[in-house]
Amino acid sequence: MRAVVVRRGEREPTVVEQPRPEPAPDEALVRMLRVGVDGTDREVVRGAHGGFPSGADEMVLGHEAVGVVADANGTDLTEGAVVVPTVRTPAAGGDRSWFERDEADMAPWGSGDFHERGIAGADGYMAEYVACPAPSLVRLPPEQAGDGFLVEPLSIAVKALEHAEAARSAFDWQPESAMVLGNGSLGLLALGLLDADSRFDRLYCLGRRDRPDPTLDVVDGLGATYVDSRETPVETVADVHEPMDLVFEATGYARHAVETVHALAAGGVGALLGVPEDWQFEVEGGHLHRELVLNNKALVGSVNSNRRHLAAASSRLASLPGWLVDRVVTGVYPPDQLDAAFTDDDTTIKTAVELNEYEER
């Protein structure tokens, strides 16, 4: 079977032939349909994030996947069912209770309790067939066989919003305004999620793009206000536009974590999803501290997602307008067109690699 891998010392993905895996007890064999490509995948290929499985010189890429159960292998799964897998998988010798509670997304980074498939320590899903632990698979409706690779990234936004709401649960939080920092695929999916939430009357999206631009067409289509950070930095948003009840950070730009506090309204909350590189810069700590305390503001960090978030993301995906999905997904490519699938330019929002076609039973 074909698989897309990154090899140690190389900076480009490669198609290789591998034997079809044999599922172990409590595993099912999944025939992969499509696997999304995002910024994390590109960082893994460049060697800037993640790591190879122990003792291996190559790793199968891909963590945003949708597939079909090809062999249930005695599990409770149904052959032919469309499924999405979780990203995290138990590490040998790690604390498995995170997985037993379906809270692997809350396990501490670097704990040794998990690997992230296609990212750190375990092969991913960009192969024609993958053996997956049955508990890691969440069933999707058949109509999501084509765009189900969006469920995993959308689940990241679902979890972040859940955590933001939990941070405001001590009082009657009635949000009306929200800003998404970042107009990449995750930011646009989050914007779509917020647009479908009737509580938010006014939406904003911050980026650094010039028109014409496909991401800004999506922002406009959702009725949101585009904010160019080159003209209006995050820390001035409250003065130029309005204080935000919710800020959803999806840039990985470290200063945005600090500047989010200044963009928030009293009682507002910022959800941080980006993973920045190390960077030292000056902060007026006293002012930052006062803003958080005197105006009851909060920042929450969020990473990964669990089965419950994936199931919720599937429902949210079904409610998004079809035009949004069509515009966000700018290309689906076979494995022999990896250059196009992994391209990162101003015309690309979200791409996927198609390993197999869906055959409805």
Give the pLDDT of the chain (361 residues) as one tens digit per residue: 999 999 999 999 999 999 999 999 999 999 999 999 999 999 999 999 999 999 999 999 999 999 999 999 999 999 999 999 999 999 999 999 999 999 999 999 999 999 999 999 999 999 999 999 999 999 999 999 999 999 999 999 999 999 999 999 999 999 999 999 999 999 999 999 999 999 999 999 999 999 999 999 999 999 999 999 999 999 999 999 999 999 999 999 999 999 999 999 999 999 999 999 899 999 999 999 999 999 999 999 999 999 999 999 999 999 999 999 999 999 999 999 999 999 999 999 999 999 999 988 7
Q: Give me the pLDDT at residue 360, please.
A: 80
Same domain, 126 and 36: yes
Number of helices (H), then strands (E), belonging to the chain: the values are 11, 19
Is residue 14, in this structure, part of any structural domain at all? yes
Is residue 288, in this structure, part of any structural domain at all? yes
Which distant-in-sequence residues (6+ apart) come within 8 Å of 19 by Cβ? 1
CA distance 152 to 128: 19
Same domain, 160 and 295: yes
**Helices 151-167 and 307-319: angle between axes, nearest 10 degrees:** 110
CATH assignment of the domain containing 243 = 3.40.50.720
Question: Going along 46-120, which residue ranges are E strands?
Answer: 58-60, 64-71, 82-85, 88-90, 114-117
**Radius of gyration of the chain from its Cα atoms, rounded to whole angstroms:** 20
**What is the number of structural domains in the chain?**
2
CA distance 104 to 311: 15
Same domain, 108 and 174: no
Is residue 116, in this structure, part of any structural domain at all? yes
Same domain, 59 and 165: no
CA distance 218 to 272: 22
Same domain, 32 and 118: yes
Same domain, 219 and 296: yes
CATH assignment of the domain containing 62 = 3.90.180.10
Is residue 117, in this structure, part of any structural domain at all? yes
Same domain, 190 and 289: yes
Which distant-in-sequence residues (6+ apart) come within 8 Å of 52 by Cβ? 8, 58, 59, 121
Q: Which helix (H) or strand (E) holds 153?
A: helix 151-167
Same domain, 192 and 228: yes
Query: How many CA within 13 A on the CB side of residue 340?
Result: 12
Is residue 151, in this structure, part of any structural domain at all? no
Is residue 263, in this structure, part of any structural domain at all? yes
Same domain, 166 and 290: yes
Same domain, 75 and 210: no
Same domain, 205 and 83: no
Q: Give me the pLDDT at residue 340, please.
A: 97
- What is the residue range of 7's domain? 2-140+321-354
Same domain, 267 and 177: yes
**How far is residue 270 from each of residues 69, 198, 216, measured CA to CA in Å?**
38, 19, 23
Is residue 148, in this structure, part of any structural domain at all? no
Q: Which helix (H) or strand (E) holds 358?
A: none
pLDDT in tens, 133-172: 999 999 999 999 999 999 999 999 999 999 999 999 999 9
Cβ of 180: how many Cβ atoms within 10 Å? 32
Work out whether strand 14-17 and strand 2-7 pair parallel, antiparallel, or are unpaired. Answer: antiparallel
